[in-house]
Structure 1
Amino acid sequence: MLEQRIVGANSLPSIVPDLSPEELIRQLLPPPEFTAARFENYRPDANFPSQKAAVEISQQFVTGKKGKLFSKTEPTPGVYLDGGFGVGKTHLLASIWHAYSGKKAFGSFLEYTSLVGYIGFQTAVSELSKFALICIDEFELDDPGDTMLMSRLLKELSIKGVRFAATSNTPPNALGQGRFAAEDFKREIQGLGERFEIVSVDGEDYRHRDTHADSRNLTVAELQDWLGIQSDLYTSDFPELLKLLSTLHPTKFRRLIASVGAFALTNVYQLEDQVAALRLVAFVDRMYEQQIPIRTSGTVPLTKVFSETMLQGGYRKKYLRAISRIGALCELY
């Protein structure tokens, strides 16, 4: 049974985002949350010396002044920051981007693979080879097709002299298992990974977020009250949102939410379709980057939208990350 719809807010499904390939390339920038990220304002945890070491190695990567990997005969193609949630890897990646003086791009793994799918591999190589540095946040190793695509892309760009900085997406339950995802990375990036500087970043999630915590559903009246104190209000029925996302290429999700200041999602229910679930993960990633607060109503909280079968499957990392981010967005005001 459908709930009463929210009134007095813009409808997200009414937006028709459109982007040219040039605009897609131009939007490869750090999220607003990391606009001010610098090496100087990263705060290493004294209990985990690897964090301070990661800062130093990241700075060396930018300057190229120290370490055998920076020799003139064998320039390093990249640095790989490997660790769990909330240890500041993206802060360090954004710091590398800000400190680098050449032409540079910053995006998530999904943004790059989506870009290649949208504009074609050769066009992507041509456009991305114009950059001196490519920053890749949350390098994903759980989809063989995407991993092979990114491996091939990095090889092509490396031949053209492009350098890379990347982070991993290791979930909390994998901490303590050797070098996190480092060995997987070196294996999957078929030869090129061996030439990366692999940097483990140990530590606890400084946000102390629980990937298994529940967000709370509101009544329609509570949603109306919450929207009443927000600006740039948008809303959608959950089935309508899923339908909308199915019609859009993921490269357009960022443009879709460009004007959204707060988002109310009604009629949330648990998903059974994994394709729809993965689209929602990509949408949540873009929402999180822009730090857009969310409130929901429905039969399950938004943090319970992924079934237990999904959480135990091959895309577990993606779903755990999305749950963590949903929990954070549902607490924002």
Structure 2
Amino acid sequence: MSDSPIHLVDRSPRVSAEELLAGFRPSERFGEVSFDTYIPDPGQPSQEEAREALRGFAASVEAPSGGGFLGRLFGRRPARAAKAGIYLDGGFGVGKTHLLASLFHAVSGPKAFGTFVEYTNLVGALSFRKTVEALSGYRLVCIDEFELDDPGDTVLMSRLMRELSDAGVRLAATSNTLPGSLGEGRFAAQDFKREIQVLSDQFEVLRIDGEDYRHRGLPEAPEPLAADDLEASVAAAFPDASRVAVDDFPALVDHLSRVHPSRYRQLIEGLQGIVWRDVETITEQAVALRFVVLADRLYDKDLPIVSTGVPFDRVFTEEMMTGGYQKKYYRAVSRLTAMGREGLQRAAGPDREATAR
């Protein structure tokens, strides 16, 4: 770490409206996926059913339909995708984002792909009316990880979706069901339908069952490095120190309060790795929610993380993990664990890869 690495706390990006909108596309992780690259689990028939339903939905978006909005909404479409929108409900890591990104790639533009949080942040950055004006001319708007734990944001997004649908925009969304609710299968879908009352009968709801592929047969969270091992491990994991961001964790989470979440994508632009010293449990809800957004953007770019301090399954308090925002925190822990495991594997090298796992 002697080659003057980057520090995220030194970055304060400024982003124009045009740059924000240009960023509404699948991340590098899903930049080239397709329906053909999605491999359904043979033991979970709902995965193949969802893939075929989305193929039909993509065809319906591409199919010509005259008569203005009513023609687009009720005109000629494949019977399977007769509704204006499609909604994927399922647990963590079953491939919903892969399928949603495949839908995005299968449809010609203009189009947008972003997470629920990114759209709410877009409204915060541009205003509601300007966001509607910007997206109303799109053919397809994809909303990944629709969230129901913040009533204000949910109502905001419901209104946005209603206005976009009225403008003839086709919509697709995904959401996660909490691990304890996987057997119920209707929690997220029913709440989603209540919150988008006008659109509810226009959405086809698809349940995708399966196991989180990121953790199949793997431990929940790898142990962080000892402080004395950090420098050598970082040098082994990231030979090009000029593209690694090294930060003291407490200072980083404090810095996030001074950067609008809509700019977190630009905050980590150009990086190939992340190093955090002294990871600690976050105890304030507002701080934790900002950190969740950063974790999502890091996962989008598939950035390995090397860290010291507490393991990532302890970065949020027990109260947070069982409270109203637990879905966000479960997702963040799942993703941080995957990136942390990748960082340790790189630091360990091929001879110790099994140990790092």
**TM-score interval, smaller chain:** over 0.9
* Cα distance, 1:211–1:15 mapped onto 2, change above 3 Å: farther
- Identity, in percent, stands at 47
Name the Cα RMSD after superposition. 1.9
* Higher normalized helix content (fraction of residues): 2
Moved >4 Å (runs of 4+): 209-212
Assess, with a 3 A threshold, how the Cα gap between structure 1 residues 320 and 212 changes in structure 2: closer, same or farther: farther
Using the size of structure 1 for normalisation, the TM-score is: 0.92
Quote the residue 1:35 is aligned against. 31
Q: 2:113 is paired with a residue of what secondary structure?
A: strand
Distance 2:197 2:217 in 1: 34
Code of the aligned partner of 1:19: V
Provide the aligned length of Structure 1 versus Structure 2: 324
Matches within 5 A, 1:157-172: 157-172=164-179
1:99 aligned to 2:106?
Answer: yes
**Contact conserved, 1:85 with 1:170, CA < 8 A, in 2?**
yes
Distance 1:13 1:273 in 2: 19
Query: Which residue of the other structure, out of 130, 146, 155, is the alignment partner of 2:162?
Result: 155
Map Cα deviations across residues 38-82 of structure 1 (whole Å, 9 max, x no partner): 1111111121111111111101111127xxx97418963211011
**Residue 10 of structure 1: SS of its match in structure 2?**
coil
Structure 2: tracts of 5 or more residues without a match: 64-71, 347-357
Cα contact 2:87–2:203 (8 A) shared by 1: yes
Letter of the aligned partner of 2:257 in structure 1? S
Q: Which residue of 1 aligns with 2:10?
A: 14
The superposition leaves residues 207-265 of structure 1 with CA deviations (integer Å, 9 ceiling, x where unpaired) of: 33589823322133322112213131111111210121000110000000012211111
Q: CA deviation at 1:291?
A: 0.6
- C-alpha distance 210-160 of structure 1, shift in aligned 2 (>3 A): farther
1:265 aligned residue (271, 276, 282): 276
Q: Which amino acid counterpart does residue 155 of structure 2 have in structure 1?
A: M
> 1:216·1:296 contact (CA, 8 Å) conserved in 2?
no
Measure how far apart 1:302 and its partner are.
2.9
Q: Within 1, Cα distance between the matches of 2:205 and 2:217?
A: 27
Does residue 1:309 correspond to 2:312, yes or no? no
Opposite residue 250 of structure 1, the aligned amino acid is P
Bigger mean CA offset, 242-251 vs 179-188: 179-188
| 1:95 alignment partner AA | S
Alignment match of 2:115 (pick from 104, 108, 112):
108
Unpaired segments of 5 or more residues in structure 1? 1-5
For the 8 Å contact 2:12–2:259, the answer to whether it is kept is no
Distance in 2 separating the partners of 1:126 and 1:174: 37
1:301 is displaced (CA, Å) by 1.9
Which residue in 1 is equivalent to 2:57? 61
Partner residue in 2 for 1:216 = 223
Over 3 Å counting, the alpha-carbon distance change for 1:155 and 1:71 in structure 2 is closer
Quick one: structure 1 residues 220 and 92, their matched pair in 2 at CA, closer, same or farther if it must change by over 3 Å?
same
Deviation larger for 175-184 or 147-156: 175-184
Q: Is the 8 A contact 2:177 2:185 kept in 1?
A: no
Say whether the 8 Å CA contact 1:13–1:240 is kept in structure 2. yes
Matched residue SS, 1:183: helix
